[in-house]
Structure 1
Amino acid sequence: MYPILFQFGSFTISSFGVMMVIAFLLGNYLLRKDVVAEGYDPIIAEDITFRAAIGGILGAKLYYLIENIPTGQAADNINGLINIIAGIFTLNGERIAFGIQNFGAGLVFLGGLVGGIGAVSWYIYRKKLNWFKIADLSAPFLVLGHGIGRIGCFLVGDDYGIPSNLPWACAFPKGLPPTNIPVHPTQLYEMSAYFIIFFYLRYRKQNQSFPGEIIFEYLFLGGFARFMVEFIRTNTKYAFDLSGAQYLSILMMVIGAYQLWKLRKSINSPVETVS
């Protein structure tokens, strides 16, 4: 475990933060190449990455706050959240930095997904761009960023699974929360699944059948991967012994499958002619 990579006095650089930066920079670099190849202005890639980052962080934190209201942990993070939102609207970099510093722990990817897609969708609407085309371009890099983020989770000892006696089980004595019992490294399971999905979506993009196919395949496959991993995670279970993340994963799969069926049906339907 390497939760802190560098420390200069009271200033620390966490491994999770570094992984997030790598995810956004790499995603932006690759998205920029694809955006240019499709004939768009390359500045669109920067705009999308910035909005996905801000919307994703806010969405991930809001989900965490809502999820932890019963535990009382939510109040510790609200001040940081208010400062980040105020800093964004006033373009005050110092206030954003202060908010992040006092944001506390706790980010939930599914909330980040909703926040990121929402922020990017608003940008697409304002710029009058084609939502399906931009979403298809962005989808592979969403899942790539998620996979890289899970490396950060592993390094800080967060989001691990239930106890296990498998040879690759890991203990996280300085984790969040700490455990000396070997557990499933579910962060690495998810990382592997998302990298596989990334390469699959990149391949599918070269053989795309209709607009929207890539983004909705991402929703279905990403939802399925998270749904399966949750069975060996330690999250709170609700009705039918499923976690909150599993219910959101089911929603992702349903939306993805339905939209794929609907779009494929519209493509295959014969066009009516007027005589």
Structure 2
Amino acid sequence: MKNDLFSIGPLTIHSYGLMIALGILVCVFMGMYRARKYGYKDEAVLDIAIFGILSGFIGAKLLYVLVEFDRFLENPMDVLGSEGFVVYGGIIVGALAGVLYCRIKKLPCWEYFDLLAPSIAVAQGFGRIGCFLAGCCYGRPTDAFWGVTFPEGSFAPAGVPLIPTQLISSVGDFAIAGILLLYNKRNKKAGNVGILYMLLYGIGRFLVECLRSDDRGTVGMLSTSQFISIGIVLLAIVLFFRHKLFKGTKKRRKRRSIKMIKSGR
């Protein structure tokens, strides 16, 4: 657990930023590889990733501003210039950016969502490792043998054994990615892989939030992320049953791959 890894002159490499960057790279390369495998446009995946990442950072910061709105009113630059982000803001705004791109380029939005959902989960897994190294998003105090004590200089309270919620989240995100990849092989309807991602992540995030102890905003008795998680899970359930009423299978993927082979691409 180390927030500052090393410095090169005035430039300091932070563990959180490094893991975020690594997660993004793995996400993009994994998405492009799977795009070529299933006959999609890998350049479209790269474009979606660029727009989604840029929009995601803005969304994550905007939701953080809403969570810390009282502090923002007192000192706007203190909040805007801080290292604070809320992941759900990034996911929601980044996803909307991806949808907008697909609509503009007339691409099958649900199919690209299926394609990228496992990559997104992998990127989140790396991001949570960054949270652990920085000490943010920490859990409640615990006497259990698996409690983690953070050093001075971390965002977490130093010298107190805490539940490693960051690592729990990371393992969960990687597990979700694996489940999605396996389900993708059996899935017959476009959109179901992406919807399953929403369902699994929403449930997992809600449960992990029960173990966290950091200040992250509340909506009634729930944390902000728990409140959003309920909405995400309900939306996933509605979308799943809605998809059962409409056609839209993965046959398009197979036909696209066959056309590419015949055309020598």
Q: TM-score, normalised by structure 1?
A: 0.84
1:105 match: 83
Report the 3-state secondary structure (helix = DSSP H, G, I; strand = E; otherwise coil) of the residue aligned with 2:112: helix
Instruction: Please say if 1:160 is aligned against 2:161.
Output: no
Report the alpha carbon displacement of residue 119 of structure 1 after superposing the two structures with TM: 1.2
Aligned-residue offset at 1:50: 0.8
TM-superposition CA deviations, 1:143-174 (whole Å, max 9, x none): 11111100000000000011111111112232
Residue 27 of structure 2 contacts residue 122 of structure 2 at CA under 8 Å; is this kept in 1? Answer: yes
- CA offset at residue 77 of structure 1? 5.5
Deviation at 1:232?
1.1
The structure whose RCO (Cα within 8 Å, separation 6+) is larger is 2
* Alpha-carbon distance in structure 2 between the residues aligned to 1:127 and 1:198: 27
Q: Trace 1:64-75 onto structure 2 (pairs within 5 A).
A: 64-72=64-72, 75=76
Q: Does 1:23 align with 2:20?
A: no
From 215, 220, 234, the equivalent of 2:194 is: 215
Paired with 1:250 and 1:43, the residues of 2 have a C-alpha distance of 34
- Per-residue displacement from partner, 1:68-113 (whole Å, max 9, x unpaired)? 11124761257x6xxxxxxxxxxxxxxxxxxxxxx43111110110
Aligned residue in 1 for 2:231? 251
User: 3-state SS of the aligned residue for 2:27?
Assistant: helix
3-state SS of paired residue (1:232): coil
The runs of 5 or more residues in structure 1 that have no matched partner are 81-102, 269-275
What is aligned with 1:7? 7
**Is 2:153 the counterpart of 1:174?**
yes
- Kindly provide the amino acid, as one letter, of the partner of residue 8 in structure 2: F
Instruction: Work out whether residues 219 and 227 of structure 2, in 8 Å CA contact, stay in contact via their aligned partners in 1.
Output: no
Mapped partners of 1:209, 1:40: distance in 2: 17
Q: Is the 8 A contact 2:199 2:233 kept in 1?
A: yes
1:266 deviates by 3.6
> 2:205·2:226 contact (CA, 8 Å) conserved in 1?
yes
Structure 1 counterpart of 2:209, which letter? E
Aligned residue runs from structure 1 range 181-260, under 5 A: 181-234=160-213, 235-239=216-220, 241-260=221-240
Q: 2:103 aligns with which of 116, 125, 146?
A: 125
Root-mean-square deviation (CA, aligned residues, Å) is: 1.8
Kept in 2, the 8 Å contact 1:65–1:74? The answer is no
Matches of 1:182 and 1:203, distance apart in 2? 36
Task: State the one-letter code of the partner of 2:231.
Answer: L
Q: Which residue of 1 aligns with 2:251?
A: none
Report the secondary structure of 1:53's partner residue. Answer: helix
Q: Can you give the 5+ residue segments of structure 2 that lack an aligned partner in the other structure? A: 249-265
Partner AA of 1:37 in structure 2: K
For residues 158-203 of structure 1, the C-alpha deviation after alignment (integer angstroms, 9 at most, x for no partner) is: 0001111111111223222433211111000101111111000001
Give the deviation of 1:121 after TM superposition: 1.1
Task: Check the 8 A contact 1:169/1:182 in 2, yes or no.
Answer: yes
- Sequence identity percentage: 29
What is the CA–CA distance in structure 2 between the aligned matches of 1:110 and 1:217, rounded to whole Å?
Answer: 17
Q: TM-score, normalised by structure 2?
A: 0.87
Q: Distance in 2 between matches of 1:74 and 1:177?
A: 23
The count of corresponding residues between Structure 1 and Structure 2 is 244
Q: Which amino acid aligns with 1:264?
A: K
Provide the rounded CA distance (Å) in 1 between the counterparts of 2:48 and 2:105.
11
2:85 alignment partner, SS class? coil
Partner AA of 1:53 in structure 2: I
